[in-house]
Amino acid sequence: MRFVYPANLTPDETDGGFVVTFRDLPEAITQGDTREVALLEAADCLEEAIAARIDEEMEIPPPSALLNGECAVSVPVQTAMKAALYVAIQAAGISQSELARRLAVDEKEARRLLDPRHASKTASLEHALVALGRNCVVDVREAA
């Protein structure tokens, strides 16, 4: 699963600048005075929306295809890995205790891997994903 979501930038005729919304994550709404600032705010807003869904044990929807006029906004790599792990755990129907058992770690350590605000090591997240039959692929592209 990729964690790059389509965003709509709408000119704010009342206050100026742009309002940013994500059709896949309706709770994610932000704004910025310029297009560049709005896109920076959009990335932060998207990260917070994904983190909140993990915290609240809600579904993280797959991103829709980008439509004409939309901008692609991605989450930071660590957030994407934690979200991928969260989605994989849900798909496997296992608990955090079972994840800890599979990784041969303390349950507290397994919980931290899913905590969006805890700085986990990339290697630990990758190991956990592999334990759930997932493969992490990094895709670096030229900025839009």
Say how far residue 35 (Cα) sits from the centre of its chain.
Answer: 22
DSSP letter at 141? -
pLDDT attached to residue 144: 64
- Owning domain of residue 68: 4-74
> Is 22 inside a domain boundary?
yes
Residue the block writes with tokens 């940013």: 20
Which residues of the chain carry a pLDDT beneath 50?
none
Q: How far apart are CA 6 and CA 92, in angstroms?
A: 27
Question: Hey, how many other C-beta atoms are within 10 angstroms of the C-beta on 103?
Answer: 17
pLDDT attached to residue 14: 87
pLDDT attached to residue 77: 92
Contact 11, 69 (CB under 8 A): no
- Which tens digits make up the pLDDT trace of 109-132? 999 999 999 999 999 999 999 999
66 and 81 assigned to the same domain: no
88 and 121 assigned to the same domain: yes
pLDDT attached to residue 93: 95
Quote the number of domains for the chain. 2
